[in-house]
Amino acid sequence: MIRFCFLEFIIMTTKTIYRYIVYILFFTAAVLGGFWLYYLNSSSLSISPDRKLQWRDFKLVEKINNRPRINARCITFIEPTIRNIKQKNGYAKIIVALEVGIDKELTQVSGSFMARADQPTKNAVLNHENGHYKIAQIMGYRILEQVKSYRFHPSSHQAEFDSLIRSQFLEWRKMDQQYDLETTNPRNYEKQEEWDMFFRTELNRH
């Protein structure tokens, strides 16, 4: 009788464990399914690193492009990927994933600059290079907003998407060039402060 009860207890315990395992599996599947559904239906922008750049983010090199006068450079990228395309009320809606980051090989700082420059100069140069990174982030957000609000034609959505990206990339290049033109050669601290305020205003919107 005791043996039977003990065996029955083990069987009941095993059934309970299996029942909990089934519950956990169903719960996990529901969560993953919900996440996947959200992923397919939501545009997003990721920034990496999602912080101010530090000198450790720059590759130390002897010369940049064999030009000893260049102290540092920040090379950024915006990578758009179409995640999903939904047909809605006679137009196509594109779900896009945008990635903003730095090229870890081409984002560089000159070893001679790091050896000779005083700390205030290093801080000023690092702040300026962060400006290029912030421009990429601003343009990433602008692309995201445009894609989310744009009504693409069902049969030509890819061409329209490519055209939108090209247009924004041209604006990105112009802003990058204007930033350098106004703040460097010679270094203009007043203009740099104006741009820093612009960066804060734009990025605080998101």
What tens digit of pLDDT does each residue of 99-146 get? Answer: 999 999 999 999 999 999 999 999 999 999 999 999 999 999 999 999
Residue ranges in the chain assigned as alpha helix (H) = 2-41, 111-116, 119-149, 157-183, 189-203
Number of other residues whose CB lies within 10 A of the CB of residue 86: 11
Q: Residues near 124 by Cβ (< 8 Å), separated by ≥ 6? A: 187, 189, 192
99 with 46: CB under 8 angstroms? yes
- Site of tokens 């464990």: 17
pLDDT, tens digit, 9 for 90 and up, residues 27-82: 444 444 444 444 557 999 999 999 999 999 999 999 999 998 999 999 999 999 99
Number of other residues whose CB lies within 10 A of the CB of residue 66: 7
Number of other residues whose CB lies within 10 A of the CB of residue 1: 5
Pick 42 or 171 by higher pLDDT.
Answer: 171
Partnered with residue 110 across adjacent β-strands are 61
- Site of tokens 């983010």: 57
Could you give phi then psi for residue 184, rounded to 5 degrees? -130, 165
| Edge-to-edge strand ranges of the sheet holding 72-73 | 59-61, 108-110, 72-73
How far apart, in whole angstroms, are the C-alpha atoms of residue 206 and residue 201?
A: 10
Can you give the pTM of this predicted structure?
Answer: 0.81
Residue 41 pLDDT: 75
How far apart, in whole angstroms, are the C-alpha atoms of residue 90 and residue 201?
A: 37
N- to C-terminal Cα separation, the chain:
70
- The DSSP 8-state label assigned to residue 167 in this structure reads H
Q: Enter the tokens of residue 101.
A: 């980051």
How far apart, in whole angstroms, are the C-alpha atoms of residue 162 and residue 203?
A: 25
Residue 175 pLDDT: 98
Q: Enter the tokens of residue 17.
A: 């464990």
Model confidence at 21: pLDDT above 80: no
Partnered with residue 44 across adjacent β-strands are 97
Residue 88 pLDDT: 85
